[in-house]
Amino acid sequence: MKLFHWLVTAPLALILVIFAVSNRARVTVTLWPFPFEIETRLFLVILLSLLIGLLLGLLLAWLASGATRRESRARAKRISALEREVEGLRSNRPAVSPPRSLPGAGS
């Protein structure tokens, strides 16, 4: 599994480094309704945009799965309570040994 991780991570890191070196041109970023102008490198604009999009997507997915997580916790609590109840019933029941012979069987 560790080998697979490095087989994916190393080429991806190399691609990102090559991308950053190839896109070093300065660009001016303006945020239209605001009077801000930022002069930065092109690769920073692109990579930060991707990072912000990734983080927003993760946040939205986490928020959307809230009901499922809540239901899973409730089910886990219910299962735990039922397991405790079963153990309590098993410990309280008297040990019953099976009859040695069935009544009316060949005597």
How deeply is 23 buried, as exposed, middle or buried, from its count of CB atoms within 10 A (0-12, 13-18, 19+)?
middle
**Residue 8: inside a domain:** yes
Asked if residue 76 belongs to a domain, the reply is: no
pLDDT (0 to 100) of residue 100 = 72
Q: What is the pLDDT of residue 12?
A: 93
**Domain range enclosing 2:** 1-64
pLDDT of residue 70: 97
Q: For residue 107, is it within any domain?
A: no
Number of domains composing the chain: 1
Q: Give domain status of residue 103, yes or no.
A: no
Residue 107 confidence class, pLDDT cut points 50, 70, 90: low
Is 75 inside any structural domain?
A: no
pLDDT value at position 72?
97
User: What average pLDDT does the structure give for the chain?
Assistant: 90
Mean pLDDT of 53-73: 97
37 touches 30 (CB < 8 A): yes
Q: Is residue 13 part of a domain?
A: yes
pLDDT score of 82 more than 80? yes
Domain membership of residue 16 (yes or no) is yes
pLDDT, tens digit, 9 for 90 and up, residues 86-96: 999 988 877 66
**Residues 13-59: tens digit of each pLDDT:** 999 999 999 999 999 999 888 888 999 999 999 999 999 999 999 99
Residue 36 DSSP one-character state:
E
| Residue 74 located in a structural domain | no
Report the alpha-carbon distance of residue 66 to residue 74 in Å, rounded.
12
pLDDT at 105 over 90: no
